[in-house]
Amino acid sequence: MNKKPITPYYLIDERKLLRNLKIIKYVRETSGAKSVLALKCFSTCGVFPLMQQYLDGTTSSSLYEARLGHDKFGKEVHAYCVGFAKADIAEVKRYADKIIFNSLTQLKTYYPAVKNLKIGLRINPQVSYSHFDPADPARRYSRLGVTDRQELLTAMPLISGLMFHFNCENDNFNNFAANLELIGRTYGKLLQQLEWLSLGGGLYFTKEGYPLVRFCKKLKEFSARYQIQVYLEPGETAVTRSAELVTTVVDIVHNEADIAIIDASTEAHMLDLLVYRTSAKIETAGSGRFKYIIAGRSCLAGDIFGTYRFQHRLKTGSILRISDAAGYTMVKKNWFNGLQMPSIVIKRLNGTMDVVRSFAYKDFVNSLS
């Protein structure tokens, strides 16, 4: 591409993505644990050809994600949903290698229709790791997974595997190791009767300094102890630090503080910032003398990316790059206020820039009626 893309746009850098993928490959080769990409976190199929080389397949949270994994990624397709509808089952069984049910009711209702596939059941081990209550899979009254171990026994003849998704951005190896041992003590006899076990996602093992050798050893020992194939479901850990939202300052206003308005929005383009009330990461900001609130251009009063200091004054036309714009970002983008949807641009391994998707007025209209 010769022409520079127009902001706002998401920019995925395959060279940065490759760093994470190589770590995932190392974990597979060292521990034996397979990894399937969590499409609920990242579904941008423009980089699937690269990711296919390092992951074993995909895992989904809906019918459409399962079909996307089948059609665009290939390899293994794990299909999970908190609540399948009858029509979902009729179609999803065409795409999935494994179907994982969230409850015993769903398992027993749909088992006759999918019994020729590998079937799993999600378990809530009632321990978890999460920085945010809305993302805690074992929070009080959680609907995510089976808690009654006696009821689980009745499902054993119907299933070949279990899923324990109990982490969210867990970069604490000791916590993970302790909880894995708890799962072994609690469910070990059942695991020995099964073929596979998914430990879900939310394990931040691509973080700089993470004890990968110990992590791999733990996974390998656990797998050998129970003679079971372990799966991981990396989402954010597969794409962390590989993308940014590139924006332009369109105005600067003053109301007790200098406020720079950019041509993007938290609600429309980085929704997790609002959901979890966190600030965006802007690597060019630091301890400079010029302080700005960076705000989006939607009508939402709380459309704020955060407060930052810069070495130089911002002005209309200044480019701001917001980091970590891959996981749970592009999958949540929406048309709030009818704001221009960011294009998706990929910087390939050879350095070329590829605009793989751009959006126009007709996409806005078609999303509504």
Report the pLDDT averaged over residues 299-305.
Answer: 98
Q: Is the predicted pLDDT of residue 218 greater than 70, yes or no?
A: yes
What is the enclosing helix (H) or strand (E) of 91? helix 86-92
Q: How many CB atoms lie within 10 A of CB 195?
A: 14
Report the pLDDT averaged over residues 142-148.
Answer: 95
Report the pLDDT averaged over residues 140-146.
Answer: 94
Q: Is the predicted pLDDT of residue 3 greater than 80, yes or no?
A: no
Q: Is the predicted pLDDT of residue 268 greater than 60, yes or no?
A: yes
| b/e sequence 218-245, b meaning 16+ C-beta within 10 Å | bbbebbeebebebbbbbbbbbbbbbbbb
CA distances from 361 to 187, 248, 330, 335, 364 (A): 53, 20, 18, 11, 5
Beta strand segments in 15-68, E: 34-38, 57-60
* Residue 249 CB contacts under 8 Å (≥ 6 apart), including other chains: 260, 261, 262, 314, 315, 316, 317, 318, 319, 320
Report the pLDDT averaged over residues 258-273.
Answer: 98
Beta strand segments in 39-80, E: 57-60, 76-80
Q: In whole numbers, what is the pLDDT of the chain averaged over residues?
A: 96
The DSSP code sequence of 310-348 is: ESS---TT-EEEEE--STTTGGG---GGGPPPPEEEEE-
Fill in the DSSP letter of residue 139: S
Question: Which CATH superfamily, name and number, covers 240-366?
Answer: Lyase, Ornithine Decarboxylase; Chain A, domain 1 (2.40.37.10)
d(CA 1, CA 360): 19
Place of tokens 């003398």: 289
Q: Name the phi and psi angles at 300, rounded to 5.
A: -70, 125
Q: Is the predicted pLDDT of residue 1 greater than 70, yes or no?
A: no
* Residue 87 CB contacts under 8 Å (≥ 6 apart), including other chains: none
3-state secondary structure of 183: helix
Report the pLDDT averaged over residues 319-342.
Answer: 97
- pLDDT band for 4, please (50, 70, 90 cuts): confident
Report the pLDDT averaged over residues 28-55.
Answer: 98
Q: What is the pTM of this model?
A: 0.95
Q: What percent of the chain lies above the pLDDT cut of 90?
A: 97
Spatial CA neighbour of 340 closest among 93, 3, 83, 5? 5
> What are the pLDDT digits (tens) for 100-137?
999 999 999 999 999 999 999 999 999 999 989 999 99
Report the pLDDT averaged over residues 57-73.
Answer: 98
Could you tell me the residue ranges of all domains in the chain?
15-239, 240-366
> What are the pLDDT digits (tens) for 130-139?
989 999 999 9
Question: Which CATH superfamily, name and number, covers 15-239?
Answer: Alanine racemase (3.20.20.10)
Q: How many CB atoms lie within 10 A of CB 147?
A: 13
Q: Is the predicted pLDDT of residue 2 greater than 80, yes or no?
A: no
Alpha-helical regions (H) of 117-198: 149-155, 173-191
